Amino acid sequence: MSKIGGTAFIAYDGNQLQLAGDMTVSPDDVEREGKAGLSGVAGFTETNRVPFIEGTFFTVPELSITEISEITDATVTAELGNGRSYVLRNAWVAGTRELNVADGTVGIKFEGVSCKEI
């Protein structure tokens, strides 16, 4: 059997974050939508979209929320439990940070110009 999930790592500009439990990698830079009419399927449309990597991370003492919020041009690397790795280039931190004080976690979403499997 092959390993399909589990242990994963994420870092920005070489700074490893402590992943709490979930991470999503969305590398696609286009989205296609099928179009159908009364006479059947006509084809599809394609629109650009922003690739991203997001997850929930522990708020360890080394993690500065202010520093994270100021990231605007980073290289983010995600190493997945199945052996695949992704690099998000020219990345910035999107949205806002909301800390879960009971769990000691914070959600962080990195968006970027491109995300490629390496």
Residue 7 has pLDDT above 90, yes or no: no
pLDDT tens digits for range 53-82? 999 999 999 999 999 999 999 999 999 999
Q: Rounded to whole angstroms, what are the CA distances from 97 to 41, 100, 116?
A: 42, 10, 25
Kindly write down the DSSP assignment for every residue of 69-106, as one continuous string. HT--SEEEEEE-TTS-EEEEEEEEEES---EETTTTEE
Angstrom distance (rounded) from CA 47 to CA 41: 18
User: Can you tell me the mean pLDDT for 80-99?
Assistant: 96
**Domains in the chain with CATH codes:** 9-117 (2.40.30)
Partners of residue 54 on adjacent β-strands: 24, 109
Residue 40 has pLDDT above 90, yes or no: yes
Taking the model in full, what pTM does it have? Answer: 0.91
